[in-house]
A and B are shown apart, each in its own frame.
Chain A
Amino acid sequence: MNKRWLELSVGLMMVAGVAALVALALQVSGGNMSRNAQSYAISALFENAAGLGPKAKVTMAGVTVGEVVSVAIDPNALMAVVNMEIYGQVDYLSIDSSASILTAGLLGEKYVGLTVGAEEEVLVDGDVIEDTQSALVLEELIGQFLLNFGDN
């Protein structure tokens, strides 16, 4: 077995393997690696966080600006507290921004949508969003519809 060819092919295989990994990182996963650098945590209280779970997207104007880290109960406020991690570059969320739990498509997964407010001061690590809109629960919608229908 020609030694030159042997070493060359092993080298090629290793390069191909690493290149495949890089390609997977960039082309396939859209290179979402920059998230972990300099991200900051904020949270929001919701009356109902049904269907929202960790790793759900946090968007603003439809663009992903972070992800949900955890959803838990705040025992003091007796509401759902959603902890989020926002990318470092997104440092223009005003302190009076609002957060809503939305559905992607009709049957899609839940995500958090942020709308920026008018204040100059921006949200920093540890801040809480107060203006929130809970998730739409189908039963409540039907209930409301029946109520309105009944009124008429």
Chain B
Amino acid sequence: MINLIADLGSGLLGKLVRIGQALLMLLQATIVRPKASSFSRLIQQLYAVGVQSLIIILVSALFIGMVLGLQGYTLLAAYGTEQAVGQMVALTLVRELSPVVAALLFAGRAGSALTAEIGLMKATEQLASLEMFGVDPLHRIVAPRFWAGIISLPLLVAIFSLVGIYGGHLVAVDWLGVYSGSYWGNMQQAVDFNGDVLNGMVKALVFAFLISWTAVYQGYTCVPTSQGISAATTRTVVYSSLAILGFDFILTALMFGGTV
């Protein structure tokens, strides 16, 4: 029993140490004066991280929006209030689903790719090579990827919301016959820009931070073997996903818990 507690304690301390190291790594990577060349690296990473995630975001948003429209209509029709489906779809997406689902997809697609890429660079000694050329790999490799993640995800979340709402419109209005005016009108009354849209974007920013940080840290500190990279990639996806869901609850409670 004592051993169990001791193990638990040392495991916890170990985790705290890792988090501290991760924070130091992050500070080292991000606190630097940007140069002209870092901008072009950022653009490259924005492409790799953001643009290449667009397809999965667009397709998922469309289908989720359509499902919301369908399910929403079915549920609300039982109470005769199917006109409210627009506001249901919009609020669900903007407050919860867009930030969370987009973030989970992003963690799986872009997060794991970042970890694998950095890990592979470590395994093939490219990071050590950079060091020997007097270039700090934290600035050259890690920082652009981190910032690309922070910038990309909020944009993707906004796109997700919009595409999802249109997906709902497709099902509810074009297929199931809800009046288009009610779809948008009810929505506009119910959705508050500051309270709903911006709060959703705040969530997106927090998630972006968590995913990008986890992804680059796991890649940078992985064991430089193929097994090590695979384990690090898995950790990125798992830790990011858990962090997203955990912080989602905290943020939701903070933002929306008051209006009961």
Contacts and interface: CB of A to CB of B under 8 A. Distances in A.
B165 A6 contact: no
A13 to B, nearest CB: 5
B184 interface: yes
A27 interface: yes
Interface string A40-52: 0000000000000
B107 interface: no
Interface string B79-121: 0000000000010001000000000000000000000000000
Interface in B40-71: 43-44, 46-47, 50-51, 54
A17 B258 contact: no
Contacts, number: 83
A9 B155 CA distance: 14
Contacts of A38: none
Contact of B193 (A10, A29, A53): A29
Interface stretch (B15-23, B30-38, B122-130, B156-164): B156-164
A55 B47 CA distance: 41
Contacts of A10: 43, 46-47, 50-51
Nearest to B151: A14
B231 interface: no
B47 A24 contact: no
A17 B47 contact: no
A70 B119 CA distance: 53
Contact of B47 (A6, A21, A30, A31): A6
A55 B191 CA distance: 12
A138 interface: no
Given A10-B51, A24-B197, A53 B260 contact: yes
Interface residues of A, number: 26
Contacts of A14: 46, 151, 155
B46 A13 contact: yes
Interface in A1-28: 1, 6-7, 9-10, 12-14, 16-18, 20-21, 23-25, 27-28
A127 B199 CA distance: 32
Given A17-B159, A30-B191, A25 B51 contact: no
A32 B193 contact: yes
Interface of A: 1, 6-7, 9-10, 12-14, 16-18, 20-21, 23-25, 27-33, 53-55
Given A13-B155, A25-B197, 11 more contacts: A1-B47, A10-B47, A13-B152, A17-B158, A28-B94, A28-B161, A28-B165, A28-B187, A28-B188, A30-B187, A33-B193
